[in-house]
Structures are given as structure tokens and as C-alpha cells.
Amino acid sequence: MPMRIAIAGKGGTGKTTIAALLCRSLVKTNGVKPLLAVDADPNSCLHERLGITPSETIGELREQLRAEPDKIPAGISKTEWIERLISEEVAESVGFDLITMGRQEGPDCYCYINNLLRSCLDKIGQHYKAVVIDNEAGLEHLSRRSNGKVEALLVVCQPTVIGARTAMRILELIDSLSLDIGKAYLVLNGCDGEIPESLQALFDETKLEVLARIPTDQQVFDCEMESKSLLDLTAESTAAATVDAMVSKLLEEAKQ
């Protein structure tokens, strides 16, 4: 069974950067491959952080299925056909593949198609040693149970009052929906120096373990400004080193 890591949080907290650094650490530092990266944010930009060109999005495939639901080649089931279509849209790189979910365009109900796609993605994911899911900003994918079962949910937030309140809302949503999550963690991004006691008290109320405090990193900033892959960060990157330590802990806990 692959290790599935999902990432949630508000927009602007650095979720996609953390997702790319996770992929880097799993594949390049820890040799966990093949890995499947899933960009589940309609504002798709994970491919930019990973330095690869995306294929057609699953959102575009979704529109095709909605427009022509019965256009299936003879001799195969609908599920097999959709699995084949999804497989064709995987963007391949060294050690990992990327699937970009994209957005749905129309106002109609997509529940059946979304469930079918999720089932197929779950099946495809079994061929990988790990799956990293970069969710859309906010709580939409969690509330729609779009992630399925995950071993680790990383709640990425900045060390602010708003960040603490967002983490609390996500925790409340997890409890109310009985989501199938092995363990949820806090990841504080842009965390330089000590956190004031009053703010720490707010984060403590979430009862979530702080898995990592990711420092501001000029090398990461430069890569993103120059549209360079975060996979190529050097050993001097403090953010990459922190994520390496974070991944080592996740892998160690997965063995237990």
C-alpha cells in the first residue's frame, strides 16, 4: 500500500511549495519512488514547482465525460476506459509522475463523475510507493471527502492568529466528517524565531502535533521567482533540510 500524504490550508500559506519539497525529499533524499504527485488545486501550479510540463487536466477529462458519457470503446467497462484515459494524462518525470486535477467548468452536478474519477485515481495510486496530494486552498476537498484514506494530513499555516484559527476549523471538520486520516499534523511555514506564548497557546488548542517549522528560505524564493524547479535545491537550503527531517519522521512513524 502506498503512503498517502495530503496537504491542506488557506491560500497563500505555501501549500504547493511544501508539496514540492515533500516530493523532492521523498524521491531524491529518501529514494521513495515511484511517487505520484496529485495537484488537486484548481489554480494548478505544482508542475511549476516541480519543473515539468503538465498534460491535459482531469477537469478537462471530466468535461469530456459529462458531454459524452456513453462514448466507450466496445469490449471494456466504463471504469477501465476512464483508468486508461487518466493514465494517458499522467505527466512523467524522473522518479515521479504528476496528475493535475484542474477545475470543473459547468454548473451541473459532477458527483457521479467525481466519485468515478476518485475511484480510478485510488486504483492507479496503488502502483506507487507514495502519493502526495496538494489540495485546493481552504477546506473544499476535505468537506467533499475527495482525498479518500490518507496516512498523514499536513495542515500548513503561517504562524499567525488567522493560521491558528484555520487549523482549528480544519480539525473541527475532520472530527465532524469522520474522515479516514491516520494522523493530522501542523506544519508552520515561514516560521522564523520563537512564537509568542499567546500565539503558541492558540496552536496548542488544536491538539495537533507541530511536525515542522519551515523557515523562510531565500533559495526557495529565488527558485520560485525564476520559475526553477524546487527539486534542484542545494544542501544549503534550510527549508529543504527541514522538510527532509520532517519526511524522515513521517517515514519512521509509517513503519510503526
- Does residue 105 carry a pLDDT above 80? no
Inter-axis angle of helices 161-177 and 197-204, to 10 degrees?
Answer: 10
Beta bridge partners of 248: none
- Does residue 185 carry a pLDDT above 60? yes
Quote the distance between the C-alpha of residue 12 and its chain's center.
Answer: 15
> pLDDT at position 155, please?
93
The domain of 31 spans 3-255
> pLDDT at position 141, please?
55
The span from the CA of 16 to the CA of 154, in Å, is 12
> pLDDT at position 87, please?
81
Total domains in the chain come to 1
> pLDDT at position 120, please?
66
Stronger pLDDT, 118 or 139, i.e. the higher one: 118
In this structure, what DSSP letter does residue 25 have?
Answer: I
Label residue 41 by pLDDT band (50, 70, 90): confident
- Does residue 235 carry a pLDDT above 70? yes
Kindly report whether the global pTM for this prediction surpasses the value 0.85.
yes
- Among all chains, which residue has been given the C-alpha cell 497557546? 201
Mean pLDDT lowest among 79-93, 134-148, 210-224, 228-242: 134-148
Mean pLDDT lowest among 30-44, 154-168, 172-186, 200-214: 172-186
- Does residue 140 carry a pLDDT above 60? no
Cis peptide upstream of residue 54 (ω within 30 degrees of 0)? no
Question: Do residues 124 and 58 lie in contact, with contact meaning Cβ atoms separated by under 8 Å?
Answer: no
Pairing between β-strand 181-189 and β-strand 150-157 as defined by DSSP bridges: parallel
**Highest mean pLDDT out of 33-47, 105-119, 140-154:** 33-47
At residue 202, what are phi and psi to the nearest 5 degrees?
-65, -45
> pLDDT at position 154, please?
94
CATH code for the domain of 219: 3.40.50.300
Quote the distance between the C-alpha of residue 125 and its chain's center.
Answer: 13
The span from the CA of 124 to the CA of 85, in Å, is 11
Cell matching residue 78: 466504463
